[in-house]
Amino acid sequence: MSIARCEGVVQIYRAQDVEVVALRDVDLVVDEGETVALLGPSGAGKTTLLWLLAGLLRPSAGRVWINGSDLGSLDQRKLDRVRAANLGVVLQNPGRNLIPYLTAAQNVAFAQRGLRRDRRRVGDLLDRVGLGDIRDSPAGRMSGGEQQRLAVAVALANRPRLLLADEPTSQLDGESGRAVVELIRQAAEQEGTTAVVVTHDKAVSDGLSRTVTIRDGRVGSEGRRGENLVVVGREGAVQVPPEYHHLLPPGSRARIEPLADGVVLRRVEG
Ligand SMILES: Nc1ncnc2c1ncn2[C@@H]1O[C@H](COP(=O)(O)OP(=O)(O)OP(=O)(O)O)[C@@H](O)[C@H]1O
Ligand SMILES: [Mg+2]
């Protein structure tokens, strides 16, 4: 079963007189138990897609489902309920995920919400991200990297069905980064938490079960088990990956030669 789904999602930001098309016709299905790395260059639309999945932004067009609920059809109260019941979110700016005057332990406990407080889980999560020793320090006084690790613990506090994390290891060294990936993997294996993780870090994407690469607002390719496949878009569009731009540069012309099971693109000079 799919826990998250996007169909024909378009996101256009309007600022003063300019329009920025951040996502164009994105289709994506995330199945339960998957751990997906969302990759792509800066400005590709990764954060935008994460915010749409998190219900923090409504798409300009298209639909987003979380655990079977069409987010666009919900009023704010129902949307909040679906989010609380299903999602753990780590925003790109680590400080924004935390309540600065509460301690690390209080932040995690607070995120368990109305559910039975589970002190053991609070301690366990903090230990696993390496913050056990500073569990009583206020979040606002922690370093960016500590806040980032705390944000992941907070997002997992409530055993969410879907973890949405935006570059959760960008300020971490190799060792803390690995601890965060391990925590995400164990949440998937032991608690069935599906994860979508935006990352530039190959060590993170290698640790997850699938990659989805966004370029210029479209899903360009998807990978599993080390093999990366281009995705044929709605209009038949295919993105030639950058590593082949020297053979088929953007703007060049190509002849399409059909085969029994696909086509070959051959550059035509002039
Ligand atoms: N609030 C906004 N108003 C106007 N344009 C925006 C807004 N947020 C994002 N954009 C634009 O939308 C596009 C996609 O932005 P987004 O933040 O989703 O990219 P990203 O892939 O997360 O990049 P990065 O890796 O740098 O975080 C960019 O061109 C960006 O400038
Ligand atoms: Mg981003």
Q: What is the pLDDT of residue 66?
A: 97
Q: What is the pLDDT of residue 234?
A: 82
Residue 100 Cβ inside 6 Å of ligand 1? The answer reads no
95-129 as b/e, with b when 16 or more CB fall inside 10 Å? Answer: eebbeeeebbbbbbbebbeeeeebeebbeebbebb
Q: What is the pLDDT of residue 114?
A: 60
Report residue 223 as tokens.
Answer: 């990978």
Q: Which ligand is nearest to the CA of 40?
A: 1
Nearest CA to ligand 1 atom 12: 22
Residue 19 Cβ inside 6 Å of ligand 1? The answer reads no
- The answer to whether residues 92 and 56 touch, using CB atoms and an 8 Å cutoff, is no
CA atoms lying within 13 Å on the CB side of residue 205: 22
Full set of structural domains in the chain with CATH? 2-239 (3.40.50.300), 243-270 (no CATH)
On average, the pLDDT of the chain sits at 93
Q: How far is the CA of 60 from the centre of ligand 1 (A)?
A: 15
φ and ψ at 93, to 5 degrees?
-90, 105
Q: Which atom of ligand 1 is nearest to the CA of 40?
A: 21
| Sole residue written with tokens 């693109």 | 265
Nearest CA to ligand 1 atom 4: 13
3-state secondary structure of 199: coil
For residue 115, pLDDT over 70 is answered with no
Q: Which ligand is nearest to the CA of 57?
A: 1
Residue 213 Cβ inside 6 Å of ligand 1? The answer reads no
pLDDT tens per residue, range 148-186: 999 999 999 999 999 999 999 999 998 899 999 999 999
Q: Which ligand is nearest to the CA of 42?
A: 1
Q: What is the pLDDT of residue 89?
A: 96
| Sole residue written with tokens 């024909």 | 8
Report residue 80 as tokens.
Answer: 């909040």
Q: What is the pLDDT of residue 105?
A: 96
What is the mean pLDDT of the segment spanning 197-219? 93
For residue 9, pLDDT over 90 is answered with yes
Residue 20 Cβ inside 6 Å of ligand 1? The answer reads yes
pLDDT tens per residue, range 30-67: 999 999 999 999 999 999 999 999 999 999 999 999 99
Q: How far is the CA of 265 from the centre of ligand 2 (A)?
A: 33
Residue 47 Cβ inside 6 Å of ligand 1? The answer reads yes
Please state the separation of Cα 219 from the chain's center in Å: 13
When pLDDT is cut at 50, 70 and 90, the band that residue 195 belongs to is very high
Structure letter (DSSP) for residue 96: G
Residue 21 Cβ inside 6 Å of ligand 1? The answer reads no
Residue 155 Cβ inside 6 Å of ligand 1? The answer reads no
**Taking Cα atoms as reference points, which of 246, 217, 215, 250 lies closest to residue 230?**
215
Nearest CA to ligand 1 atom 27: 42
Q: What is the pLDDT of residue 270?
A: 73
Residue 42 Cβ inside 6 Å of ligand 1? The answer reads yes
Q: Which ligand is nearest to the CA of 41?
A: 1
Residue 22 Cβ inside 6 Å of ligand 1? The answer reads yes
